[in-house]
Each structure stands twice: as structure tokens, then as C-alpha cells.
A and B are shown apart, each in its own frame.
Chain A
Amino acid sequence: MAVQRYQVDLDEMDLALRQLYNIIRRLENAESKARHETGLVRESLGTGFDEVYEFYAEQALVKTYMEDVAAQLRASAEELTRKMKWTRDAYEDADS
């Protein structure tokens, strides 16, 4: 059986976990901004000419995509944090 070599400081891992939780909160803020602070009222561009509708439609597509990307980033951060927590607990179990 292969011997696993590693070096770890659980206190440092705890600190990193706290930082990852802060990152998740920051990403939640960003996600909220993408959804609620980037809206464009179509009439603010003008009305009655094709260019308005085409521009509005393109930005709406990009906005929807970015909202989804922001949600994905937050989910990825949560996944990274979960894995880190699991690893940290595994180290602790191995030590005890």
C-alpha cells in the first residue's frame, strides 16, 4: 500500500475556509447585482425604430447569460469550499 505524504496545518485550513465563505458571500452579492442592478428599460433607448429593438434584444441575451454565469460561479465556489471542508475533516480524522 502506498504511503501518502502530506503536510498540513489545520488552523491554516480553517482560515482558508473562512475566506472561501467570504468569497461565496461576495459572489452572492455579484449575482444579485447582475440580476437586479443591470436592467435596461427599452424605452430609455428610444422608440419606433428597429435599431432600438435589436440592441435591446442583444443586451437582454447577454444579461441573461451573465446572470446564469454568476450563479454558476457561486455554485463552483460552494463546491470548492465543500471539498476543502471534507478534506480538512479527513485530515483531522487521520490525526486523531
Chain B
Amino acid sequence: MAEKEYDYLPPGQRYASRHSTAFAARSLPQMKAMVVHADPEQVRTAGHGWDAFRADLVGGEDGGVLGMLDAAVARLMQSWQGDAAEAFLGEAERFRDRIADTAEYARYISVALRGAANALQEYKTHVDAMTPADDTPVSRARTGEDRASGVNAEDLLNADRGRLSAAEQRALEAAVVMEQLGAAYNSQGSAMGSWSRESLTAPSCPGAPGGIAPLAEVRPIPYSVSPRLAASPPRPRAAEPPIRTGAGGVVEGLKASTDAASATGRRGDAVPGVTGGVLRQDSAHGRDRTGSNAVLGAAVPIPAPGPAASQGGSGLHRGRGR
């Protein structure tokens, strides 16, 4: 398993979407079978493919297609004037906007895939390490109805703690972890589904992705799950400035400006996720144009826990029992 290279959501934040499978109704062997052949590295590789695609557009020493185009147009315009030159310049500028938007789209997909890979790595590692208990699940009949109805496994686990057989407790703990994986996948899927897809024949296609920005961070395994692994904590990473989420919380790890923005000379202090982080001027109509963007809507803060609420994870959990 690859070394962890991802960050955790800050305490108090969880995925925007919930899981959709009733994991609490499944046995531990069934849940282990769900992820036994899953491979986070394969998912990550697909994301790297989008990174390479994006690098062709806006990366490398020459700035990719965007940098090459800018250089060519800037030089040509020094020696070319007239109506045809103006027409060419206008067309080239529209083309460069489309390249920047496409690069931003690729960045979004890459982050979504990386987020899914990170979640899979985090949760699969834990589920793989779980071993079935050899006692009899005595209370299954009592909780079976709740489980099938899709009640949150963490709630069941906390409500029945001390009254569950070892086998049941382990199955519910696995369900808690799998619910996190399901929520992570659903959140990334919802984000991808929110991105605008302009018609291929539209002059500005693809346009800014807008919608919900994807999330590379992973929610830590909740406290309610017993630590079974001596998992290494995530490597410390260079601090990046936090980004306001717009939902009252702050998520770290996503850059506020993109290479596309810097390569295009656009403003680097604008909202991330919109055309390389910029406000775009529609010169033809003399008004500003931005894509709608629920920035980092993939993560929302958890309400303050009441006495009966389950505990959210903080990541500190990973150090317990070592």
C-alpha cells in the first residue's frame, strides 16, 4: 500500500453527501469482499492521466498550449496591424479562454479521482485489517430491522455499545468505515454531476466547470471504530493558505490559484474553480461573466454534537493504542 500523501478534513467537517448502501445490514465478510480487490493506485493513475492532459494545455516550461499561443500571438502582434490582425487576435483570445477552462476542468477531474483514491486507501486499509470475531452474533434479530432500514451504523454502534457481541460490533464498525467510503464516493460523484457541460458547438465550450469543487481530503475514521492498525499518520505537508468554503468552514489543501490562472495572467486572488480562478470580462457585452460555483461544497461542517450525538473523528484516533 502506498504511503499516505493526503490530508484529512479538519475536525467538524464531513462529506457533503451521505452513503446510499445499507452497510449496517451486511456482514463483515461481505464488506471485506466489497473492497478486497479495490486498488486506490489504479484510481490515482487515472487522475495522473488528467494531470498529464492538463500539463499539455497549461503546464511545462513553455506553459503548454496556452503559453505557446500567448508567446506566438504576442510576437506576431508586434509586426501585424489592421483589420485582419484584430480579427485574428479576437479569435486567439477566445481560443485561449477555452484552453484555460479545459485545463481547469481537467484539474477538477483529477482532484475528484484523487479524493476517491485517498478515501479508498484510508478506509480499505482499515476494513482489510478487520478480522471476524468467532463468537455468535446474539443481538442481530434485535437490530436487524434498524440495519435494513438504513439507520446510520455509527448511531447503532454507539447506542448498543456494550450490548453487542464481538462479531456484531466488528460488523458495525466495518459498516461505519464503509459508510465513510460510500459518502466520499457520493460526494465526488455529486460534485462531478454539478459541473457545467456546455454544448460542444458553443463558442465558449467547455466554459468554466463551476458547480461544486471536488475534494481531495479524507474524513478521518470516526472515534467509534476501534483502532486496529498501527497505521502511519499522514506525512506533514507544506502549509497552504486555507480557503473559505462559503459554508462557514475552512478547508485546506486546495490551491486558491491555479497554474492556468498564473499562466494566463489572470487574477490569482479570485474564487477558485472558476475559469482558472478568475473573473472573466465579456468584452462583447461589457459585463462580467463568472460561472456559478459552490466552492468546496463537498465538505460541510458538522453541527455541534449534543449529548446523544456520535463523535466525529479528528484524526488523532490513528495514534491510539500504539
B283 to chain A: closest CB distance in Å?
Answer: 19
User: Which 6 residue pairs across A and B have the least CB separation, nearest first?
Assistant: A6-B82, A37-B49, A44-B42, A38-B49, A30-B56, A19-B72
Q: Is A93 an interface residue (CB 8 A)?
A: no
Set of chain A residues within 8 Å of B57, measured between Cβ atoms: 30
Tell me whether A48 and B33 are in contact in the complex, defined as CB-CB below 8 angstroms, given that A12-B79, A23-B65, A40-B42 are known contacts: yes
B88–A45 contact, CB under 8 A?
Answer: no
B51 to chain A: closest CB distance in Å?
Answer: 10
Q: How many residues of B are in contact with the other chain, CB < 8 A?
A: 69
Q: In the docked arrangement, what's the CA distance between A50 and B53, Å?
A: 29
B53–A51 contact, CB under 8 A?
Answer: no
Query: Which applies to chain A's interface (DSSP): helix, strand, loop or mixed?
Result: helix
20 more contacts with CB within 8 A, not counting A66-B50, A73-B98, are A6-B80, A6-B83, A8-B82, A12-B79, A19-B69, A23-B69, A33-B52, A34-B53, A37-B48, A39-B49, A40-B113, A44-B39, A44-B40, A47-B38, A51-B20, A51-B189, A54-B186, A70-B102, A72-B205, A76-B98
Q: In the docked arrangement, what's the CA distance between A23 and B34, Å?
A: 45
Pick the interface stretch among B191-199, B220-228, B248-256, B292-300: B191-199
Q: Residue-by-residue, is A53-95 near B (CB-CB < 8 Å gives 1, otherwise 0)?
A: 0110111011101101110110011001001100100000000
Pick the interface stretch among B5-13, B104-112, B235-243, B257-265: B104-112
For window 15-45 of A, CB contacts with B under 8 Å fall at 15-16, 19-20, 22-23, 26-27, 29-30, 33-34, 37-41, 43-45
A8 to chain B: closest CB distance in Å?
Answer: 5
Q: How many residues of A are in contact with the other chain, CB < 8 A?
A: 56
A62–B195 contact, CB under 8 A?
Answer: yes
Q: Is B71 an interface residue (CB 8 A)?
A: yes
Taking a contact as CB atoms closer than 8 A, the residue among A33, A54, A61 that contacts B20 in the complex is A54
